[in-house]
């Protein structure tokens, strides 16, 4: 009989964000979306800023991640994220403020501005807001 769930672990350098048995996981791979059902073939990939979508017991939830890696082996999906926040733990006001700060920095175009860093900050803020919707 085929297994109907797989183990999912989402961790950051600071904490374990999620650990549990799930039916389906979608992660933002560097080359596109990656989907994992139970008994998926072994795989390792980099992650980009985006949403991890998880189906558990018939319900779906999202986790905003800011890069990292995903590994699939022996019916377990492990996400090692630079940062990760579950949709129900995101402070929308703080995310909106971060978005506004990044947009302001990019619009000012100061000579000492690290454009790539400001663009990444904007992407992270937008991703957090998308997860919290």
23-81, pLDDT tens digit by residue?
Answer: 999 999 999 999 999 999 999 999 999 999 999 999 999 999 999 999 999 999 999 99
Local structure of residue 98 (DSSP, 8 states): H
Per-residue pLDDT, averaged over 78-86, amounts to: 97
Number of domains in the chain: 2
Which residue pairs from 28-33 have beta carbons closer than 8 angstroms and sit at least 24 positions apart in sequence?
A: 28/52, 28/65, 29/70
Q: What is the pLDDT of residues 89-127, one digit of tens each?
A: 999 999 999 999 999 888 887 777 778 888 999 999 999
Q: Which domain holds residue 62?
A: 6-87
Q: What is the CATH number of the domain that holds 118?
A: 1.20.5.440
Residue 1 lies in a domain: no
- Cα–Cα distance for residue pair 27/32, rounded to 1 Å: 9
Q: Are residues 20 and 39 located together in one domain of the fold?
A: yes
């Amino acid at each position: 009989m085929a297994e109907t769930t797989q183990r999912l672990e989402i961790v950051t350098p600071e904490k374990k964000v999620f650990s549990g048995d799930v039916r389906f996981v979608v992660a933002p791979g560097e080359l596109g979306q990656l989907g994992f059902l139970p008994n998926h073939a072994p795989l390792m990939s980099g992650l980009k800023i985006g949403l991890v979508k998880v189906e558990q017991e018939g319900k779906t939830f999202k986790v905003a991640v800011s890069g990292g890696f995903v590994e699939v082996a022996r019916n377990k999906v492990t996400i090692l994220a630079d940062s990760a926040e579950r949709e129900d733990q995101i402070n929308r006001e703080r995310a909106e403020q971060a978005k506004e700060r990044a947009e302001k920095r990019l619009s000012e175009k100061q000579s000492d501005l690290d454009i790539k860093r400001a663009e990444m900050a904007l992407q992270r803020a937008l991703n957090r807001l998308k997860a919290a919707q």
